[in-house]
Amino acid sequence: MLYISKKHMEEVISLNIMMDSIEKAFKIYESKNFQMPDRMHVDRKEGTILYMPCFTDTVSGTKIVSTFPENIKDGIASIQGTMILNKSKTGEPLAMMDGAALTAYRTGAVGGVGIRHTTREDCESVGLIGTGVQGFYQLLYACAARPIKRIYIYDLSKERVNFFKERLEEKLKNVEIKIVQSPEDLVVNSEIIITATPAQSPVLPDDKELLKGKHVIAIGSYKLEMREIPKSLYELLDELYIDTEFAAEESGDVIVPVREGWIRSEQVKVFGKLLGDKENINKNKGTSLYKSVGMALFDLVVAEAIYDEAIKKCIGQKLGE
Amino acid sequence: MLYISKKHMEEVISLNIMMDSIEKAFKIYESKNFQMPDRMHVDRKEGTILYMPCFTDTVSGTKIVSTFPENIKDGIASIQGTMILNKSKTGEPLAMMDGAALTAYRTGAVGGVGIRHTTREDCESVGLIGTGVQGFYQLLYACAARPIKRIYIYDLSKERVNFFKERLEEKLKNVEIKIVQSPEDLVVNSEIIITATPAQSPVLPDDKELLKGKHVIAIGSYKLEMREIPKSLYELLDELYIDTEFAAEESGDVIVPVREGWIRSEQVKVFGKLLGDKENINKNKGTSLYKSVGMALFDLVVAEAIYDEAIKKCIGQKLGE
């Protein structure tokens, strides 16, 4: 049995392999050859704990993630997590890994796959609204998927955005990183736009002229009351791509636009159904929106890929019997 | 974060500390100062996976246990498990431990606490029907709780009982261990009787004269269709002790006798309610039956005690960040 920490993941992970494994997960999802019970969640006074089990032919796994907002007061990460990976056939544990790092890598990879298929191949600029952990990894994947030269970042908190810029510069030495003063500035300068905020109202300007031709990857909204994307963007779309059917049931960025008639439900397409047929995904590379909410199957398939790489590269801590 | 394997547990565990921690769990259970969501279970063609989360003021934890019967064909343990222990206040993971070993130690300790309180202090003999993993640990605890000199074992499989005897002799060098040829022989010779089988009909002789004055610890039945204990025993009891209310809802060894009128429901007592008041538990040390089905709270409190001991004794494998 292997323990794979956040540091081990940093050593072992190739972002392109992670995106390939998300594409594999999309295919498993469409083949229906997996079992994904409903998430179980427990509410505590400190926050929420989520249990996300999933099973494929080769592996099964359970991600346990807690979100305790008050941790931040004590300088402790609010999101804590563990992934247990098992052999499907026997139930034997194969590995335990850092669940928070896994979540960041897989969420970034799901966004990265969106960039791979919905954006122009020559995009050189990307803008990020919401400079949290998820945003950080989204940008790493954006740079792996496209020849990015310029990154624009925006956040309501000046302190956070400065700190974020420093951390990002350490990772991405050949990319120019600029803090912008408004979402408008960000949209004007960026070909790809990533939103990764907990916002309850749109974080992009509701301006058709500004948004036209932009490729938006929206990560934040996973509940009805959460919204990042303005009405204008929907009116520019031929199709809205969602990572799973759950997005249409859970995210305010899909539910509200369909309900209000800004987009027709037939235009909302489950991404995995189109994958493998490049002509079917934003073929003219016009204005696009890719909305991700995630699912346990993504975690599982990515965890399996990380485990395989760790074994191959002899990285990770072996656990005795 | 610490990894605690089965071997680490063997080094670190004091059986008396384990039984003390089960008594602590009984008190927490009665105080209601804990949160124990319903178990979640997933059925696969290979078997079943159980998820057992629980929360107290100090720790939270999740035991994941799979039971895949076909594993045995390949020489792999059918029960595989993992326990993740977290800090309650922040959700930070404290330890991961072998869930199968934890289950064996805690189930044995729950039985051991029964022996501590329902049997005569001078008992020198114990009989075991069902020589599986649970039975093995039950006997270790019996020897820790009482000055046992003689052990009698019985199983339908000769091969298994011989192998079991060898393993037990390695652990208990100063105890005489005898294989008996029938449950009757076992009952005649034993003051304490432990049943740890998956039986669907009674494994003890239905004979009042034989059973009179015996102290029975029944571990096997956790479903309606499972039964180990015959009618006669109930008719000898003043009270039937159950480890949790769940036993009265789940075990055929409680449901059937009450339904059939072999014992009145008022005689069925939740053990934890009586604990701390020795006069209330089988005060004349007459015939007794203690029925255990277990619960996640037991796992959690025992896991916390194992973790505390491991930290104190510097045992376990430290996991990097």
CB distance B91–A66 less than 8 Å?
A: yes
| pLDDT for position B253 | 98
- Residues in chain B with CB shorter than 8 Å from the CB of A35 are 42, 44
| pLDDT for position A283 | 79
Q: Give every CB contact of residue A62 below 8 A, 6+ residues apart in sequence.
A: A51, A52, A53, A54, A83, A84, B51, B64
| pLDDT for position A199 | 95
- Best mutation target, A12, A46, A54, A83, to test chain B (most B CBs within 10 A): A46
Query: Is there a single domain that holds both residue A95 and residue A127?
Result: no
| pLDDT for position B122 | 95
CB distance A51–B62 less than 8 Å?
A: yes
Query: Is there a single domain that holds both residue A206 and residue A122?
Result: yes
Query: Is there a single domain that holds both residue B162 and residue B235?
Result: yes
| pLDDT for position B284 | 79
Domain count, chain A: 2
Tell me if B115 is assigned to some domain.
Answer: no
Tell me if B281 is assigned to some domain.
Answer: yes
Tell me if B114 is assigned to some domain.
Answer: no
Query: Is there a single domain that holds both residue B157 and residue B247?
Result: yes
Query: Is there a single domain that holds both residue A77 and residue A197?
Result: no
Q: Give every CB contact of residue B163 below 8 A, 6+ residues apart in sequence.
A: none
Question: If you measure CA to CA, which chain A residue comes closest to B71?
Answer: A90
Instruction: Return the CATH number at A89.
Output: 3.30.1780.10
Q: In this structure, how many other beta carbons lie within 10 angstroms of the beta carbon of residue A100?
A: 21
Query: Is there a single domain that holds both residue A93 and residue A236?
Result: no
Is B317 near chain A, with CB under 8 Å?
yes
Query: Is there a single domain that holds both residue A278 and residue A304?
Result: no
Question: The domain containing residue B35 runs over which residues?
Answer: 2-103+297-318
Tell me if A111 is assigned to some domain.
Answer: no
Which residues of chain A fall below pLDDT 50?
none
Tell me if B108 is assigned to some domain.
Answer: no
| pLDDT for position B48 | 94
Distance between A52 CA and the closest CA of chain B, angstroms? 11
Per-residue burial over B117-145, b if 16 or more Cβ lie within 10 Å, else e, is: bbbbeebebbbbbbbbbbbbbbbbbbbbb
Query: Is there a single domain that holds both residue A48 and residue A165?
Result: no
- Best mutation target, B2, B46, B65, to test chain A (most A CBs within 10 A): B46
Tell me if A211 is assigned to some domain.
Answer: yes
Tell me if A109 is assigned to some domain.
Answer: no
Alpha-carbon torsion (A17, A20, A26, A29), positive or negative: negative
Candidates A35, A74, A84; nearest CB to B64: A84
Query: Is there a single domain that holds both residue A141 and residue A248?
Result: yes
Instruction: Return the CATH number at B208.
Output: 3.40.50.720
Cα separation, B61 vs B116, in Å, equals 27
DSSP states along B112-163: HHHHHHHS-TT--EEEEE--SHHHHHHHHHHHHHS---EEEEE-S-HHHHHH
Query: Is there a single domain that holds both residue A63 and residue A168?
Result: no
Query: Is there a single domain that holds both residue B83 and residue B152?
Result: no
3-state secondary structure of A74: helix
Is A49 near chain B, with CB under 8 Å?
yes
pLDDT tens-digit profile, chain B (321 residues) = 999 999 999 999 999 999 999 999 999 999 999 999 998 999 999 999 999 999 999 999 999 999 999 998 999 999 999 999 999 999 999 999 999 999 999 999 999 999 999 999 999 999 999 999 999 999 999 999 999 999 999 999 899 999 999 999 999 999 999 999 999 999 999 999 999 999 999 999 999 999 999 999 999 999 999 999 999 999 999 999 999 999 999 999 999 999 999 999 999 999 999 887 767 788 778 999 999 999 999 999 999 999 999 999 999 999 987
* Strand order across the beta sheet in which B40-44 lies: B40-44, B47-55, B59-67, B79-87, B93-98, B2-4, B317-318
Tell me if B14 is assigned to some domain.
Answer: yes
Query: Is there a single domain that holds both residue B95 and residue B152?
Result: no
How many Cα atoms occupy the beta-carbon half-sphere of B205 within 13 Å?
14
